Amino acid sequence: MEKHTEGCWVSLVLRLAVASLFIGAAVPKWMGPPGATAAGFQELFKETWLPLSLVNLHGRLVPWIEALIPIWLLLGFRLRLAWAFTALFLVSLAFGMVVAQKGDIAAYNYMYVLIACAGLHFSRFDRFSIDGFGRTDGCCGS
């Protein structure tokens, strides 16, 4: 059976990169005052058509999700699901920036969506995970 060494390493690097991105985004939110993210979202979207109750809910969930994603990606448990969740979360952030008419930020967020899709693709080769160590189909030099 062919070994997919490159795919395994690409998956690991993508996991580390995206996890570091979310750690960098989550830490300031957790160090700031509670509810500050939700308040910032409400201010950003107050002149848009999005319902403020939905904006508030999303703003309250963002710090939790941004803390969950790096843990989930680094552990690698159900990695395909982790990548799909990450991509959908990033789409929600990008969509919000489009609605807020922040095209430059939306473009970056859509680039991160593409990276998450690459992570989803390469996750099938990944063996550096809680549920991947038992696999015997070879990877990463094994």
Q: What pLDDT is recorded for position 107?
A: 97
- Residue 56 pLDDT > 60: yes
For the chain, give percent helix, strand, coil, nearest 5: 75, 0, 25
- Residue 136 pLDDT > 70: no
pLDDT, one tens digit per residue, over 18-27 is 999 999 999 9
Centre a 10 Å sphere on the Cβ of residue 41 and count the other Cβ atoms it contains.
Answer: 22
Output the six-digit token pair for 80. 């395909």
Query: Which residue has tokens 């693709």?
Result: 121
Q: What pLDDT is recorded for position 126?
A: 86
- Residue 12 pLDDT > 90: yes
How many contiguous H segments (helices) and E segments (strands) does the chain have? Answer: 5, 0
Q: Which long-range contacts (CB under 8 A, 24 or more apart) does 57-62 make?
A: 58/92, 58/96, 60/35, 62/29, 62/37
Q: What pLDDT is recorded for position 131?
A: 75
Q: What pLDDT is recorded for position 10?
A: 93
Closest CA to 24 of 58, 69, 57, 76: 69
Within its chain, how far is the Cα of 112 from the centroid? 8
d(CA 25, CA 32): 12
Q: Which residues contact 9 (CB under 8 A, 6 or more apart)?
A: 140
Share of residues in the chain with pLDDT > 70 (%): 89
Q: What pLDDT is recorded for position 27?
A: 96
What mean pLDDT value characterizes the chain? 90
Q: What pLDDT is recorded for position 1?
A: 41
pLDDT, one tens digit per residue, over 36-54 is 999 999 999 999 999 999 9
Closest CA to 116 of 15, 25, 30: 15
pLDDT, one tens digit per residue, over 65-104 is 999 999 999 999 999 999 999 999 999 999 999 999 999 9
